[in-house]
């Protein structure tokens, strides 16, 4: 009886083992795909790739199909290039100073007054203004940046915004004739004066040529004319008071005579001509766009030279495209740092 129970138990254990094995064994592999199935998968993949390309174009990538092909393609958005150009150009002109030193202006003349029946010269004046320094500060406005075929035109409004200056104003008066000499005598007065500059607006116009220079894209400035700025000195209130003081400090009769010089007007006329300053074109530098190709690579101590062969450059509405093929040149041991 015991033996039967043992056999039954063993049979049960074996059966349980078989069931467990059948349940846990890996399912047999499905049959391998046929050539036709593989081809169908390939066609489905290619169709989806085409659909994706079309969607990418619809979503804004207008020029990718026309971009120059190459081992490496770089597409820089025009919005980014515009941002770079705007900031570089305005950055260069922001806080640009124009400083003129040791300028001399000179005016002389004579004063004639009616005496009884005729006019007579009562004296000669010499007015000298020695401008020690006048400094104007430029402030750029928002530039217009327009992309064209292989160039970007730039128009930059520039304002001569503020400025300061200091000068010595010297009036020499030489009375002519006895009467004038008795009333006025000779006068030689020098006054220190200050001033500013008259704000003026200018416009700088030019372009940047877009070209590939082997490994990157360079924007080279092409500004045909230098920017001519004319600084007009604007005497301060203190300066006008100083002018008035020169006259007012004289005796009453003399004051009246010197009033005839009309120093305010003379000074206004000679300073009103302004002073020219030319801003050379070379102030605007070439700009290398920030994404380019490397000319060497270092892999685990081996320096590999990369020969970059440009395949084309396209300036499209949405991107600047640059394509190049790269060829590896024989490895050299990298120099120890």
Partner 1 sequence: MTLARSTAAFRRAQIEGLEALIARAEKGELVTADQIAIGISEDAVKTLLNASLPREVVVKDRLRVRVESAEPFFRGNRAALLFRAKASSVGMPTASATLELGGGLEQFRFEDGKLLAKVSLGHFTVLESSIGDLASNALDSLVRPNIAMIQDAIPAVEVPVEIAQSIKIGGLTEGAVVAKPGALPLEIAVSQVVPVNQRLWVLLKAKAGPWQTAASPAPETVAAP
Site residues (CB under 8 A) for partner 1, limited to 195-224: 215-216, 218
Using CB under 8 A as the binding rule, whether residue 228 contacts partner 1 is answered as: no
Using CB under 8 A as the binding rule, whether residue 53 contacts partner 1 is answered as: yes
State the nearest-atom distance from the C-beta of 215 to partner 1, in Å. Answer: 7
Asked if residue 163 lies in contact with residue 196, where contact means CB atoms within 8 angstroms, the answer is yes
Using CB under 8 A as the binding rule, whether residue 48 contacts partner 1 is answered as: yes
Q: Toward partner 1, which CB reaches closer, 72 or 161?
A: 72
SS3 track for 203-255: EEEEEEEEEECCCCEEEEEECCCCEEEEECEEECHHHHHHHHHHHHCCCHHHH
Site for partner 1 in 115-174 (CB under 8 A): none
What is the rounded CA–CA span in Å between residue 214 and residue 40? 43
Pick from 146, 22, 132, 131: nearest CA to 82: 146
Find the binder of partner 1 among 8, 11, 14, 55 (CB under 8 A). Answer: 55
State the nearest-atom distance from the C-beta of 65 to partner 1, in Å. Answer: 11
- Torsion angle of the four alpha carbons 225, 230, 231, 232, in this order, in degrees rounded to the nearest 10: -170
- Torsion angle of the four alpha carbons 310, 311, 313, 317, in this order, in degrees rounded to the nearest 10: -140
Distance from CA of residue 229 to its chain's centroid? 19
State the nearest-atom distance from the C-beta of 24 to partner 1, in Å. Answer: 20
Choose the stretch contacting partner 1; rule: CB under 8 A; options: 15-23, 175-183, 242-250, 273-281: 273-281
Find the binder of partner 1 among 59, 102, 118, 337 (CB under 8 A). Answer: 59
Other Cβ atoms within 10 Å of 127 Cβ, number: 21
Site for partner 1 in 278-337 (CB under 8 A): 278-280, 282-283, 285-288, 290-294, 297, 299-300, 302, 304, 306, 318-319, 325-326, 328, 331
Pick from 289, 139, 273, 272: nearest CA to 208: 289
Q: Which two tokens stand for residue 302?
A: 């081996």
Asked if residue 180 lies in contact with residue 120, where contact means CB atoms within 8 angstroms, the answer is no
Site for partner 1 in 67-126 (CB under 8 A): 70-77, 79-80, 83-84, 87-88, 90-100
Site for partner 1 in 7-26 (CB under 8 A): none
Find the binder of partner 1 among 9, 10, 14, 44 (CB under 8 A). Answer: 44
Asked if residue 72 lies in contact with residue 326, where contact means CB atoms within 8 angstroms, the answer is yes
What is the rounded CA–CA span in Å between residue 193 and residue 64? 64
State the nearest-atom distance from the C-beta of 64 to partner 1, in Å. Answer: 8
Find the binder of partner 1 among 12, 13, 41, 115 (CB under 8 A). Answer: 41
Site for partner 1 in 232-271 (CB under 8 A): none
Asked if residue 219 lies in contact with residue 208, where contact means CB atoms within 8 angstroms, the answer is yes
Q: Toward partner 1, which CB reaches closer, 173 or 223?
A: 223
Find the binder of partner 1 among 1, 29, 36, 178 (CB under 8 A). Answer: 29
Q: Which two tokens stand for residue 215?
A: 């490994």
Q: Toward partner 1, which CB reaches closer, 199 or 221?
A: 221
CA-based Rg of the chain, rounded to a whole angstrom?
43
The size of the interface with partner 1 (CB under 8 A), counted in residues, is 75
State the nearest-atom distance from the C-beta of 283 to partner 1, in Å. Answer: 5
Q: Toward partner 1, which CB reaches closer, 23 or 336?
A: 336
Q: Toward partner 1, which CB reaches closer, 93 or 125?
A: 93
């Amino acid at each position: 009886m015991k033996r039967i129970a043992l056999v039954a138990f063993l049979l049960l254990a074996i059966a349980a083992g078989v069931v467990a094995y059948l349940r846990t064994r890996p399912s047999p592999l499905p049959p391998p795909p046929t050539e036709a199935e593989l081809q169908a998968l390939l066609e489905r993949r290619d169709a989806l790739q085409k659909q994706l390309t079309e969607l990418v174009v619809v979503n804004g990538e207008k020029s990718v199909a026309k971009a120059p092909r190459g081992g490496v393609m770089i597409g820089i958005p025009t919005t980014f290039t515009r941002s770079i150009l705007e900031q570089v150009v305005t950055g260069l002109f922001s806080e640009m100073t124009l400083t003129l030193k040791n300028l001399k202006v000179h005016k002389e003349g004579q004063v004639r007054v009616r005496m009884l029946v005729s006019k007579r010269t009562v004296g000669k004046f010499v007015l000298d203004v020695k401008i020690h320094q006048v400094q104007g500060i430029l402030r750029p406005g928002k530039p217009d940046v327009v992309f064209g075929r292989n160039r970007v035109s730039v128009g930059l409004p520039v304002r001569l915004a503020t400025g300061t200056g200091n000068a010595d104003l010297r009036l020499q008066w030489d009375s002519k004739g006895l009467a004038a000499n008795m009333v006025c005598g000779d006068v030689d007065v020098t006054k220190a004066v200050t001033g500013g500059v008259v704000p003026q607006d200018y416009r700088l116009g030019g372009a940047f040529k877009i070209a590939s220079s082997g490994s990157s894209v360079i924007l080279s400035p092409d500004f045909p004319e230098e920017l001519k700025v004319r600084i007009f000195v604007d005497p301060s209130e203190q300066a006008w008071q100083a002018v008035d003081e020169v006259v007012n400090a004289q005796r009453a009769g003399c004051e009246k005579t010197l009033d005839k010089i009309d120093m305010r007007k003379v000074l206004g006329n000679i300073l009103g001509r302004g002073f020219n300053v030319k801003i050379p074109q070379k102030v605007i530098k070439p700009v290398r766009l920030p994404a380019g190709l490397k000319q060497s690579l270092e892999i685990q101590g081996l320096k590999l030279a990369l020969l970059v062969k440009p395949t084309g450059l396209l300036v499209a509405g949405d991107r600047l495209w640059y394509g190049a093929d790269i060829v590896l040149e024989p490895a050299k041991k990298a120099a120890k740092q």
